[in-house]
Structure 1
Amino acid sequence: MQKNRPGLGILLVLLMVSCFASMDSTIRYLGAFVPVLLILWARYAFQALTMAIWLGLKQLRGGTGAFRSAHPKFQLLRGALLLATSAMSFYGVQQMPVAEFTAINMLTPVLVTLLAALVLHERVRPLRWALVVGGFAGALIVIRPGSGLFGWAVLFPLAGALFYACFQTLTSSLSALENPYTTHFYTGLTGAALLTLALALGPYRPLQLLTAAPAWQLGLLAFIGLLGTAGHLFLILALGMAPTGTLMPFVYVQIAVAAAIGWVAFDHAPDGYAWLGMAVLSASGAASAWLNVREAQARNSVVLQDTIED
């Protein structure tokens, strides 16, 4: 697909961030009634089932090898990293306001730069280091260590950003070797399989919980799965419409959407310091992400295929 429809690509990214911000807020609400582990399982089970039907229909129409993966170990590791990212998100939004959580989680592009220097031993220019410092400064303004504002809960978005940075680093080097829709299926399948095992070994009785749950809770579980699956599909489609560097700045609209939903649904609005920190984080993260893409294009390698966690 030629990347010559930037307007449509940007629209798809805006739909994507709306899906993810809505999903996080719905998880925060439903977590008061349903175990978070069960919500997490429903999200990945929905994705695996939806993509299995999608790929199955594609194969029936004459497609071949829709379910075939050239690198199953890559699929397993990628799925596990994204599951870890989602777990930090699902549990983290129970402890923190969604807008502040989202902002700290947007450290991912900055951490990708840090991983490139520490793990891949890539040379990092002074400008990149300045953006790393700026990103962490923005996070500190939001967190305000010592204030007791969020406490230990900030470990959730920080860990989520680190897991997602590892996920992106892996994806950027191997994603061109796999069909993105096949990868999307195996991501859901890996998460669903690992979470089914966790539920079987855990203290919950998932079948009893599901059969006893009222219809509105079951509806919200399906809604969360739909939002997560649709959000990632919107991203895949957007990447086919416009260059990643064009789309990257619009990912940070998720912070504003999360803040708006938090204000309407939970009567929470970030204070002035939080908005300042979010602005610094967004500017540093967007610039880091844009430079990541530009440098990847200059090396004729694959650009990053995903940009937020859940």
Structure 2
Amino acid sequence: MQEKMQPHAKGMIVMASAMLFLPLLDAIGKWLATVDSVPPATISFSRFFVQSLLTAAILLSLGGWKGLRTHNLKGNLFRGAIMGVGSVCFFAAVKYMPLADATAVFFVEPLLLTLLSAFVLKEQVGWRRLTAVAVGFIGTLIVVQPSFELFGWVSLLPLGTAACMAIYLAMNRKYSIADSPLVMQFYAGIGGAAFTAPVIIAGEIAGHADLAFGLATMPLSWALLAALGLIGTLGHLLVVQAFRLAPASMLAPFQYLEIVMAVLIGLLAFGEFPTPSKWVGIFIIAGSGIYVFIRERRVKEGVADEKRAKALA
């Protein structure tokens, strides 16, 4: 009889699926900001507002008002606020930068997450995982081939998103023990909307176009704003579930798969065709995640074989 897949292996598969799905958020945000001139702060608020409505409807239908109960109210709201900061930064970045370039600058985040998992979550992080993360980061540099222009002030926006995302994912691992993914995403949606709403008010007062409120003018834009919430909810539900199954440091290399989708979406939606060197980088990125997956399965199989041998001894 075939053994059931180990939780860590399931977590890696779920994480990889999320990373192939979430770049649609960035592409939609870029289209809304550049084609219909919807301010990035408004895009972020719409994403979190729809997310909170969707998850509330599901939770209420499954368990009534008791379904909204959380064991970590402040922590989950803070998760949402952190994501609100990162979301505004990244949607503003892709308004001015190519999607793949902004995504690659963002990918300092797995390195930050690995450090957080070691020093904050006290997880065991071996040299092989650290090497896989480093190799994946090298792959992102090959994909993007950073130019001097990327190091202007706009390039700091994806770095801000990276720091926020690393904190968010580390908190996922901590709070997912007590709360379900749906509950976590409901309060994250409230926290994100609660953060972006004052930002929009401040942007209106200050006259800052990117932080102000702006209505979509095209029918398609309204549909895309709703889709942002749906994609964000489903994608981050997958991320939360992955962190319930596997350690943060083990999942970090799989985040590099997001650059694969960013390049493909950039090609299809924005006409950015990757050069041969970028394809080399893509294979390096994917390889780092696949390496961690294969190694984890072998380690688990080795432990299982050792236990069987002791049992038979």
TM-score (norm 2): 0.73
- How much has 1:229 moved relative to structure 2? 1.8
* 1:151 aligned residue: 151
- Is structure 2 residue 236 aligned with structure 1 residue 232? yes
CA-to-partner distance for each residue in 1:124-156, whole Å, 9 max, x for gaps?
A: 5444454454344444445555x3253323323
* 1:171 aligned residue: 172
CA-to-partner distance for each residue in 1:29-49, whole Å, 9 max, x for gaps?
A: 110211111111100000011
Greater shift, 109-118 or 214-223, is seen at 109-118
* 2:302 aligned residue: none
- How much has 1:176 moved relative to structure 2? 0.5
Contact 1:21 1:257 (C-alpha < 8 Å) held by counterparts: yes
Contact 2:176 2:243 (C-alpha < 8 Å) held by counterparts: no
* 1:160 aligned residue: 161
- How much has 1:253 moved relative to structure 2? 4.1
Find the aligned partners of 1:159 and 1:54 in 2 and give their Cα distance.
32
- How much has 1:268 moved relative to structure 2? 0.6
Find the aligned partners of 2:5 and 2:136 in 1 and give their Cα distance.
31
Greater shift, 190-199 or 89-98, is seen at 89-98
Find the aligned partners of 1:21 and 1:73 in 2 and give their Cα distance.
28
SS in 2 for 1:31: helix
| Pick aligned residue for 1:49 from 43, 47, 53 | 53
* 1:302 aligned residue: none
Find the aligned partners of 2:117 and 2:213 in 1 and give their Cα distance.
46
* 1:223 aligned residue: 227
Contact 2:140 2:259 (C-alpha < 8 Å) held by counterparts: no
- How much has 1:23 moved relative to structure 2? 1.9
Report the AA paired with residue 42 of structure 1: S
Report the AA paired with residue 172 of structure 1: R
CA 1:113 to 1:208, structure 2 compared with 1: closer, same or farther past 3 Å?
closer
CA RMSD of aligned residues (A): 4.1
Contact 1:103 1:255 (C-alpha < 8 Å) held by counterparts: yes
Matches of residues 202-281 of structure 1 in structure 2 within 5 Å?
Answer: 202-203=203-204, 209-210=214-215, 213-235=217-239, 252-281=256-285
Greater shift, 264-273 or 10-19, is seen at 10-19
| Pick aligned residue for 2:43 from 16, 39, 42 | 39
- How much has 1:100 moved relative to structure 2? 3.4
- Is structure 2 residue 25 aligned with structure 1 residue 23? yes
Greater shift, 40-49 or 83-92, is seen at 83-92
Contact 2:29 2:43 (C-alpha < 8 Å) held by counterparts: yes
CA 1:122 to 1:293, structure 2 compared with 1: closer, same or farther past 3 Å?
farther
SS in 2 for 1:213: coil
Greater shift, 135-144 or 81-90, is seen at 135-144
- How much has 1:5 moved relative to structure 2? 10
Find the aligned partners of 2:134 and 2:16 in 1 and give their Cα distance.
28
CA 1:123 to 1:216, structure 2 compared with 1: closer, same or farther past 3 Å?
closer
Report the AA paired with residue 263 of structure 2: A
- How much has 1:187 moved relative to structure 2? 0.4
Equivalent residues, number: 287
Find the aligned partners of 1:110 and 1:186 in 2 and give their Cα distance.
27
Find the aligned partners of 2:19 and 2:169 in 1 and give their Cα distance.
17
Find the aligned partners of 1:172 and 1:120 in 2 and give their Cα distance.
8
Contact 2:118 2:124 (C-alpha < 8 Å) held by counterparts: yes
Greater shift, 259-268 or 110-119, is seen at 110-119
Which 5+ residue runs of structure 2 have no aligned equivalent? 300-313
Find the aligned partners of 1:15 and 1:102 in 2 and give their Cα distance.
17
Contact 2:114 2:252 (C-alpha < 8 Å) held by counterparts: no
* 1:195 aligned residue: 196
Contact 1:110 1:285 (C-alpha < 8 Å) held by counterparts: no
Bigger Cα Rg: 2
TM-score (norm 1): 0.73
Contact 1:109 1:289 (C-alpha < 8 Å) held by counterparts: no
* 2:304 aligned residue: none
Contact 1:99 1:270 (C-alpha < 8 Å) held by counterparts: no
Report the AA paired with residue 21 of structure 1: P
Q: Percent identity?
A: 31
Find the aligned partners of 2:165 and 2:280 in 1 and give their Cα distance.
24
Find the aligned partners of 2:104 and 2:263 in 1 and give their Cα distance.
10
Report the AA paired with residue 56 of structure 1: L
Report the AA paired with residue 56 of structure 2: A
CA 1:123 to 1:19, structure 2 compared with 1: closer, same or farther past 3 Å?
closer
- How much has 1:178 moved relative to structure 2? 1.3
Report the AA paired with residue 156 of structure 2: L
